[in-house]
Structure 1
Amino acid sequence: MNTDFDKIVDRKPYNNVKFGLRKAYFGTEDIDPLWVADMDFEVAEPINNAIVKRAAHAVYGYPFADDDFKASVCDWQWKQNQWKVAPEWVSGLPGVVPALLTAVLSFSAPSDEVIVQPPVYFPFFDVIESVGRNVVKNPLILNNGRYEMDFDHLQKVITDKTKMLLLCNPHNPSGRMWTKSELTKLGEICAQHQVLIIADEIHSDLTLGGRKHQPIAKISPQISEITVTCSSASKTFNLAGLTCAYTIISSDTLRRKFDKMLSMTHLFISNVFGLEATSAAYRSGSGWLEELKLYLEETIAQMEVFFQENLPQVKMMKPEAGYLVWLDFSACGDPKAVRKKLIEEARVGLNHGSSFGAEGENFHRINIAVRRAEVFSALSRIQKVFSN
């Protein structure tokens, strides 16, 4: 396939969050935006061809996740993860965040508790608090530059009001891949206390360094029966603007409740092009994906050397999956002053770690799914500001 990931693609003239909301988020447009978790890379040709083909039929009525879409999901999960998913377990909807919200609405009541493990993807907090549920934190432990789950603390914070735990697998923002042993222990604790697991596995295809993703629902029938897996091709194949995702729920009881809520909110309707693009990606996008991962791995390897040689006071957490890199600026002073310098002096727009929870206050998240030259241009400016 030989994709040119160094190709310059000008996104500025087109409506997108990355460039269009710079001033709203950073207070200025004079920055290099490396924040929003989508890519600057053009999609694989088979995906684009599928969209063009569907567009030629110029009637865009309500679509749904049909048998063909569900089959593509099942085939992909088997190919990627050796996870045998039945088509009837699959439900389509517009996005993973709507899936998380639907799960919270389906399986809890106002004032119930939902556990999160910060620092973590910030919409986790929103989907809980926006509907009157209570966030309970089970913070991750930072041990020698690597996050670990605190199982002893988890056992202590579970109460009779605790209905579910939102799991980020792989972890966003750090790119940490949870091991089978860790996920098994987490699943067993949740099963013991009848706590549902809502697993966001949207970054699971972007595994790096030959690693294999472990779906938590695959571990055992017992854990599968308490798990709602939420995923999408959007992060893997750069399809976020096509608003298409899916859930995998093996429990008939949970799936009926979830699908009932989808029906009530009309969230069972996905994007007509998103459905086509997802099926095409899962059937014909593997080659492009492997090339992407090699490109990301090389960028990450060069970043490691850069920080070691030029900016050792900023600690880079090497991601095991995904294209988001978690940077620790703890040694650079006050977090607010650091953010101000990044924006006003380095002219780089990163996600401030505090948005992922107070536990991320000294961190910033950088999106490296852009041309490598752009990544290092931004890092060079950061070096000039913080090298002293």
Structure 2
Amino acid sequence: MRKTLPDVANYLKQIMVPGTIEAYAINPLFKNVTVNENLYEGIHAFRAFLVQLYDFLYVKGNDYDNSKKVAHEYENRTTLSVYYPFLHYVRTILMNIGYYGKSVDSSNSLICENNILVDKLSVTKNLECLRFLTDCGICIHGVDLNDKKQNISNIKTIKITYPKDPIMLTGLKVMAIAETDYGTLVNQDIFLRCDYRILKKERTNELTIVQDTIKPLTADVRDFILQLHQRYTDKGFNCIVEIKGFHIYIKYCYKRKDLWGINASLNNGYHINVKPTKTDEYADTIKTFSPILQELIVKGYGCGRKREIIGHCDGGCRGIPISLNDSVLSLRNDIVTWFDQEVSCLQKK
């Protein structure tokens, strides 16, 4: 079933980085980010603005959800421009406002040119996005939001304010710079997640990211995941975080082999994926596992089209999936035994 714009809004709200006004040190590499006492409060206010935007999109999103394209059943990454173009263009305009806008009036306003609008969009669609932003509390001066026949290329000056909390514009600007200038192939979508951690001089440790990622899960499931994290990092596994297209993938690797990982994605929710390679060496142990787990292990993983027993795509390239809901708790002891067996085999190799 296709995920709707309200589904997207709900998911984005879940994966946002927790807010803070902690005065963390800024990495000196970020030369375009001006550090002052308002920066931290500004980012915190921008996060609050995004929460409000997602809440509004959750209620009204179906009115703007005009695309009918459906992602592949097992796709983890979400491309907004393809599947949710309205939100893509809203994000583009917001980022343009932050990146190109010049702070005036003691940083209470941003002065922009018409380059904040989307060239490839019609006047009508640009105005629709701007009106949506006004519904979220942003005031836009210099554009007639109801004149669909105006030549927007003739607009020279657009003034942006946010009366509810003007310092939000500082956070908007900082996070637009962070996304545009400092986003990486494995740390994407910084802006809509308000991932200010990229600005920090001290690298955020993986445990903190794991804790932030699994916060929507129940307390018992979170405890189980944290126990797994600690157990296998203690055994020498590297914890590697990749965020691409709103897909958060935290993988645990022994040398260059990733055995298991935590996935969070819009289309497939939260799950563990496992990539065992030595199950034939402890087949007798597998026979003691829960029938559910035995069935998953016997089915195996890999490209379904290349596996004769499957013959079609079943998402097997991601590994063996185990949903992260309360049902996983009945499997916890078997999962630990399973992983430990794989570790023993990897270490012998």
Answer whether TM exceeds 0.5 for this pair.
no
Compute the TM-score of the two structures, normalised by the length of structure 2.
Answer: 0.26
Greater Rg by CA = 2
In the superposition, the TM-score normalised over structure 1's length comes to 0.25
